[in-house]
Structure 1
C-alpha cells in the first residue's frame, strides 16, 4: 500500500481518521484557550505550561493501571466514551469562577481517561490496515494532526479574541462531541483484541513483557524522551512571545505536517528505518538558537524546520510494531502514547520551572540541548538489524512466510 487513495478506500479508515482529526482539533483549540486563561490569571509560565500539558502527567498512572483496557475493550465504545468524557470535562473548565485547584483536578482526570485513548485508536488503526499500510496510515493521521493543529491554533487565537477563552473552551467541547459521533456512527462494532477483563495486574504483566526486550526499550526511550523535551520547549511559547504564541504553535504544526508527508509518502521504505536518529537531531538542534532570545521571525523559522523531525516517530513506531506480537499491538502503542505524553508533561513542568528561574529562551535552549544529548546516547541502538527485529506472530512476520497480511 503506497498511495493515499488506496488508504482511504480501506473500510473504516475514513471514520477513524475523522474521529482522530476532530479530537485533535478540540484538544488544540481548548489547550490554547486554557493556557491563555491560566496565564492571564496567574502570570506564571509554569502554571500556563501545566494547564496546556499537565494532563500528560496523569498518563503515567494510566499506563501503570489502565492500559490493559486498550486491547480488552471494544474499540468503538472506548473511543466514543473517551471523546464524551473530554467533551464534558472541557465544558466544565469553561465555567466562570472555577478555582485553580478545580481546573487542575479536571485536567488530571482527563489525562487519566486519555491514557487509554491512544492505545485504542492506534491499536484499531493497526487492526484495520494491512501490515504494509501502517506507516502510510499513521503518516496520514499525523498529517491530519498537523493540519488540525495549524487550523486549531489559528482558529483558537481568533476565537480567544472574539469569544474569550471560556467561549473557546465551549467550542472545543463541541468538537469533542463531533469526534464521539464520528466514532459511534462511523466505526463498526468489533470484539476486543485480547480476552480477559482490564485490570492493574494485567497492565503490569503486559508492561513487563514489553519492557523485557532491550530493542523495544531503546525504541520506547527514543519515542518518549527526545520528543517530550521538545514539547517542553513548545510549552514556553506563550511566555516567550505572548502575542505570537499562536503563530509559533501553527508553524510547529506546519513543520510536523511537512515531515510526515515527506517520510510517510516519498521516502523509500529501505531508507526510512535508518532516518530515526537524524530526524530526532533535526527535531532539537534548531531550538538551540533560543539561547540568544531570537527575534520572532527567526524563532518561527527555527521552530518550523525543527518540527520536520517529529517524523522520527513514524519510523520508530513501525519498528516498535515489528518488535511486538500482534495481540499486544494496542497495548504496545498505548504504552508508547502514554509514555510519550507523560514525558511531555514532565518536560513542560521542567521547562516552566527553568523559565521561572532564568528566562523562557534560556529554558528552551537547555531543553533542546538535553534532547540532542539523549538522542546521541541512544543512536547506536536504534539501527535496525535485518532478520533479527521482527517478532514471530507479528503481521510482518506472517507476510514474510506465507504471503498473508492482517486486514
Structure 2
C-alpha cells in the first residue's frame, strides 16, 4: 500500500481544491434548482406530465451539449470555458427566478442551462489531468465521486427543508448565486492555460490523431462506460422490487440508497487499495460488478438485497474511476475535452436508456428477473469488451504506427460482382431491416486465400474494431434478453400456432419474391428495406417476445440461404440483422404490454394511437442500431446515410403498418390475412422497379447522374429554356492530377476521392441542378436559369470546397494528410455560347483546357468578344 495516494494528496493541490469546491457548490445548487423547478411548475399547472417534462429538461439537453459542445474544451482555454459556462448558467438561472416568466420561456431557459453543462463538464474533466498527476489524479477522481454522492444527497435533502421556508423563485435565485460563486472560485483558483487544441477536434475517437490500437482501446472504454447504465437498473426498479419482498415505503428508500452508499465506499477504497488502471483490471471489476445483481433472481430479503446492490455500486464506481485514469493516459491533451466530455455523455445517456428498458422488461418478467438480467447482461458484455480489448492492444515488437496485416489484406480485395459499384469504402458492418447493404465490405476476407470456416477466419474479425465491438454487444444483448424472456414468459400452444402461421406466410412470400429480392440486393446502394417486418412486428404483437425473435431467426435464415447468399451477403451481417430485429421486437412487445389499451381490438381511437406508438418504437430501436453500425463504419454520417432516404423510410413505415394490419386480421379475421399477400408481392415489385431506375440513371462511384442520363435530362432542360427564352449554364469540371492520386495511393483511394468530390458538388449547387459524371475524372453541371456570371460564382465555390476536402484511405481508415485536391473548371452559357447542348459543352470544354493551361485550380469562363467570338477569361 506504500505510495498509494489518498484524498489528502489531491486536496493539497490548490488548483484541485478550487475545481473541487466549485463543483460541490454547483451540484448542491443543481439539486436545489431541480426540486424548486418541479415544485414551481406543479404549483402553476397542477399537471404531473408538465412537471415531469420540466424535470426531464434538467437532464436530457445535457446529452446534446455533451455530444456537440464538448469540443469547446479543446478549442478554447479551459478555464475560460468553465467561467463562461458558469456565467451563462447564472444568467439563465436568474431569468428562471423571475416570477412572471411564461412556462415556454422557462422550459427554454432550463434546456439551455442544462445544455451548457456539457462543455463545462468536458473542460472540468480535461483540466484535471493538467492539475493532478499519477496516483494523485486517481485520488482526485475518487474524491470527486465520493463527495459528489454526498453533495447530491445533501442537495436533495436540504432542498426539501429549504423549500418549506422559501418560495421556489428564491431557490432558483440561490442556484444562480451558486454558479456565480463557482465562476469566481475557478477564476481565482485555477491557473490560466492556453487552448490545448493542436489539431482539428474530431467527432469520433478515430480522427487520425490516434493510432489504430489507441482508437480501438478508446472504443472499448466507451463501451465499458456505457455498462454503468446496467448497474443502476436496480435503482429504477426499487419500488416494485421492495413491494415484491414485502418491504414498506421506508424499504424503497433504503434500496435506492444502497448504490450511492456502495459508490461512495468504492471511491474511498480506490485510494486505499492498489488497483492498476489497466484494461484487464477494468474488465475484471466491470464483470464482477454484475455478479451480485444476478443473485436478485432468488428474491433475497431487504438487508441482503441492500448489500448486493451496494457491492455492485462499489465495484462499478471503482472501475469507472480507473477508466477515467486510463483515458487520461491514452488521449492526448488536445483531444481530452472532446473524448472525456462525450464519455460523460455516454454515461448519463446509458443510465436513462437502461432504466427505461429495465422498466419495460420488469413489466414482462418481474422486477427480480429484470435486475438479474441486467447483471447477467453486464457480465456477458464486460467479457465481450474484454475480448475486444485484447484484440486491439499493441502487440509486442510492433510499433504503434507500424502497418499491420490488415493494411496488406486490403490490397488483396477483389471487386464485388454483387453490386453496381466496383470499389468503395466499407459500408455499414451490419444493417437491420432498414439498413442492409448489398455490397461486400471493403475489408472482407472473402478475397483472402482460403479463408476457411474456422472461427479465427470468420469475416466478422476483418471489420474495424469499433464496429466489431458494437456488433458483438448488440448480438450478446439480444441473446441474453431472448433467453431471459423465454424463461420468464413461456409460450402457450396458441402462441406457437400463431407463430407457425406467421412463419408460413413469411416463407410463402419470401419464395414468391425470391428472385425480386435477389435483384434488389444487387441494386442496393442506400439502406435496404426487406419486407420481413410485416411478419416480425405481427409476431411481437400476437405472440411472446421470444417467439417473435424465433420468427425473425427463421425468416432471415431462409432469406440468406435462398436470396442473399448468392449475392455474397455476409453471415455476420445477417446475424446482426436478426439481433437488431429481435431487440426491436422486444421493445415493441414491451410497449404493447404497458399501454393501457387493447390494441388489436381497434374499438377506440386510442387503440390506433397505441399501434402507432408500437410501430414507432420498433422503427426507432431498429433504426438506431443500424445507424450506430453505419456511423462506426464509415466517414459519411449524414442523416440520409444513417437512416436512409425518405422513400426508404416510407417503405419501412408501409411494411410496419401492414404488419400491424396482419396482427389485427389474424386476431379477429384470420382468413383475411390472405389479402395481405398479393399487396405485399406488388409492393416488392414496385420497389424493385424504382431501385433499377435509380441504378440505371446514376454513376456507381460518385452517386451523380451517369453520362447518358445527364445528357438526356440536360437536353430537356435546355428545350425548356428555349421555350421560355431563359438562360442556362454548363460547368465542365476536371480533377487536377487525378492520375497521380491513383498512382501514388491506389485506385481504392481514387474512388474515395471521386465520391468525396461528388458529395461536395451536391452541397454547392441547387437541388434541381443536374450533376453528372462524364467519365474518368470529368464531371459536368447543368445550371438552369443561370448566366455565365452565376456559373462562375458556383465554380468558385466548388473550387474552394474541393480544396478543403480530406479523404480517408480505405486501407488505414485515416485521413491522408499530404493529399491536396483541386479542380479546374470551364464555364459557358446558353444562348451566349451556343444554341444547342453540344455547342455549349464544346465551349465549356475549351474553357476547361484554358483553365488547366493557366495553372489549374481555377475557373475559366467563355465570354462573347467584340465580334461575338468566344474569348475565354480566367478567374
The aligned counterpart of 2:382 is 378
Distance 1:86 1:389 in 2: 47
Structure 1's 258 and 168: CA in aligned 2 closer, same or farther, altered over 3 A? farther
The aligned counterpart of 1:112 is 115
Distance 2:171 2:367 in 1: 29
Deviations, residues 323-352 of structure 1 (Å, cap 9, x unaligned): 323432222212211222233444566568
**Which structure 1 segments of 5+ residues have no match?**
394-407
Pairing 1:267–2:270 present = no
C-alpha displacement at 1:314, in angstroms? 0.5
Q: How does 1:118-129 map to 2 (within 5 A)?
A: 118-129=121-132
Distance 1:115 1:95 in 2: 25
**Which structure 2 segments of 5+ residues have no match?**
243-247, 402-875
The aligned counterpart of 2:138 is 135
Deviations, residues 247-274 of structure 1 (Å, cap 9, x unaligned): 77665433321110012x1121348765
Distance 1:332 1:167 in 2: 37
Structure 1's 23 and 339: CA in aligned 2 closer, same or farther, altered over 3 A? same
Deviations, residues 109-155 of structure 1 (Å, cap 9, x unaligned): 22321111122111110111123432122112212212212222221
Question: Of Structure 1 and Structure 2, which has the larger fraction of its residues in strand?
Answer: 2
TM-score w.r.t. the length of structure 2 is 0.38
Distance 2:327 2:291 in 1: 25
Task: Report the secondary structure of 1:163's partner residue.
Answer: coil
The aligned counterpart of 2:321 is 314
Distance 1:206 1:345 in 2: 23
The aligned counterpart of 2:560 is none
Q: How does 1:2-151 map to 2 (within 5 A)?
A: 2-35=5-38, 41-44=46-49, 48=52, 51-96=54-99, 101-151=104-154
Deviations, residues 277-305 of structure 1 (Å, cap 9, x unaligned): 45445656667799999998887666544
Number of matched pairs = 382
Structure 1's 232 and 377: CA in aligned 2 closer, same or farther, altered over 3 A? closer
The aligned counterpart of 2:453 is none
Q: Which has the higher contact order (CA 8 A, sep 6+)?
A: 1
Distance 2:374 2:118 in 1: 26
The aligned counterpart of 2:201 is 202
The aligned counterpart of 1:226 is 227
Distance 1:36 1:328 in 2: 40
Give 1:328's match in structure 2, choosing from 316, 325, 335: 335
Pairing 1:342–2:349 present = yes
Q: Is the contact between residue 59 and residue 342 of structure 1 (CA under 8 Å) also seen in structure 2? A: no
CA root-mean-square deviation: 4.4
Structure 1's 319 and 298: CA in aligned 2 closer, same or farther, altered over 3 A? same
Structure whose alpha-carbon radius of gyration is higher: 2
TM-score w.r.t. the length of structure 1 is 0.74
Give 2:195's match in structure 1, choosing from 192, 196, 211: 192
C-alpha displacement at 1:217, in angstroms? 0.8
Q: Is the contact between residue 224 and residue 385 of structure 2 (CA under 8 Å) also seen in structure 1? A: no
Question: Of Structure 1 and Structure 2, which has the larger fraction of its residues in helix?
Answer: 1
Moved more, 366-375 or 117-126: 366-375
Task: Report the secondary structure of 1:318's partner residue.
Answer: helix
Moved more, 179-188 or 337-346: 337-346
C-alpha displacement at 1:184, in angstroms? 1.4
Distance 1:371 1:85 in 2: 40
Q: How does 1:250-265 map to 2 (within 5 A)?
A: 252-263=259-270, 265=271
Q: Is the contact between residue 288 and residue 364 of structure 1 (CA under 8 Å) also seen in structure 2? A: no
C-alpha displacement at 1:24, in angstroms? 1.8
Q: Is the contact between residue 32 and residue 153 of structure 1 (CA under 8 Å) also seen in structure 2? A: yes
Q: Is the contact between residue 75 and residue 190 of structure 1 (CA under 8 Å) also seen in structure 2? A: yes
The aligned counterpart of 1:402 is none
Moved more, 4-13 or 181-190: 4-13
Moved more, 282-291 or 5-14: 282-291
Distance 1:37 1:233 in 2: 30
Task: Report the secondary structure of 1:202's partner residue.
Answer: coil
C-alpha displacement at 1:373, in angstroms? 1.0
Deviations, residues 39-88 of structure 1 (Å, cap 9, x unaligned): 774334x963x644544433443344322211221122211122222233
Q: Is the contact between residue 287 and residue 364 of structure 1 (CA under 8 Å) also seen in structure 2? A: no
Task: Report the secondary structure of 1:21's partner residue.
Answer: helix
